Amino acid sequence: MAVSATVGLTLLAMNLATGEKKVASRVESLYGVRDPQFLRSMGLLLGPGIQQGNRIDYLENGDQIFPAMLEAIRSAKKTITFETFIYWSGEIGREFADALRERAQAGVRVHVLLDWVGSMRMDGRLLARMRRDGVEVERYHQPRWYHLARMNNRTHRKLLVVDGSVGFTGGVGIADQWSGNAQDEAHWRDAHFRVAGPVVAEFQAVFMDNWVKATGRVLHGSDYFPKLSEAGDMAAQMFSSSPTGGSESMHLMYLLSIAAARESILLSSAYFVPDALAIDALVDAAARGVKIRIITPGVHIDEHVVRRASRARWGELLEAGIEIYEFQPTMFHCKIMIIDGYLVSTGSTNFDNRSFRLNDEANLNVYDTRFAECMTGVFERDMQRGRRIELEQWRHRPLPQKVTEHAASMLGKQL
């Protein structure tokens, strides 16, 4: 019994540990997002190079997102690579499985990487049919004795690449909650993006990173990495992070971007639990005169402990004049940051410790004024459907609410 308890406590400690050293000090504000030095930092200091000549299309809610993804899957001629956190049973799950199965039976090489935790609600029979019909499906960090210490490390990435030339990323999971048009509380508000151009090769490389970790097999060649021509005029990069290699890179990318803000920060965040460094960075930006507005879920949220932990941390932000809005109609699952009407960062990353340090994440960074203008319009429409939280209202919330929120906030390292 004592041995079992010791082993159990050891595994728990290993899973709760963040591993690598963390960013421990504030990031200085040395240049703006339009400064060439900022672009050099983003493309050389932190991650992959910034690719020119891309087209990025914004897709809003399931009514636009799922048809676009399914159309791309059904058009595949050679390869499909698909990594996602959430894949549940239901109508949408069956429709995606059928499309993937049909392409596999037609000779397309189909590779699907599902997070083990995120796909636990998937019907096993559906999974078996996919495998039977030639879809190569792997579960990321499925419990095995030799990597139990990594149980707390999930892949939260949302990546679909078809024929190595068309990519999708954003916030949606494969579940019926994302269907529809956010018309009621049963249908979530979210955003996804269809991408063509040279940056899609970086999507594929990010998928391959976890595919190799999960299978030990390398997929390469022109069917996966074709020569890509320019498809538009946008500059972009696919930014990724993982606790097994560069867990702080996503956190640092956000901190550098906030430090480079000179005019405005717009942040849509499904799970907003900022740590002390992030709070300091936002407060410092506000002190520089940057106008900051944040949208986060209201009462309609799937993880109520996250909302409680989030609200406990709003004091300094509200005191600094930062505007916070709680989205009212339904669950708000968007993950988008817009800096100075120029940089748009979007993908799977939430503004919390789990995304910054525990999960495998991937974000598309787009450097384009027109695209940022489009996404700013989307943000402002969402903001109109939110309720602004005023400082005095926050200060005078009921005592029991304060107690539960601060108790939830103590779990911040795991949220």
Active site residues: 156, 158, 163, 333, 335, 340
Q: Are 158 and 84 in contact (CB under 8 A)?
A: yes
Give 346-401 as a 3 state SS string: EECCCECHHHHHHCEEEEEEEECHHHHHHHHHHHHHHHHCEEEECHHHHHCCCHHH
CA dist 43 and 160 (Å) reads: 23
Secondary structure of residue 277 in the 3-state scheme:
helix
Q: Burial code of 17-32, b = ≥16 C-beta within 10 A, e = fewer?
A: eeeeeeeeeebebebb
Q: Are 353 and 313 in contact (CB under 8 A)?
A: no
Q: How far is CA 251 from CA 38, 85, 236, 358, 363, in A?
A: 16, 20, 19, 11, 12
Q: Are 166 and 193 in contact (CB under 8 A)?
A: no
CA dist 369 and 272 (Å) reads: 26
- Least Cα distance to 178 among 93, 294, 304, 113 occurs for 93
Q: Burial code of 344-375, b = ≥16 C-beta within 10 A, e = fewer?
A: bbbbbbbbbbbbbbbbbbbbbbbbbeebbeeb
Cα angle 240, 267, 399; round to 5:
115
- Helix spans in 57-135 (H): 61-74, 91-105, 124-132
What does the block give as tokens for 287?
A: 């002190």
What does the block give as tokens for 243?
A: 């606790």
Helices (H) and strands (E) in the chain, counts: 14, 15
CA dist 358 and 71 (Å) reads: 33
Q: How far is CA 31 from CA 34, 262, 309, 330, in A?
A: 8, 9, 32, 38
Q: Are 234 and 262 in contact (CB under 8 A)?
A: no
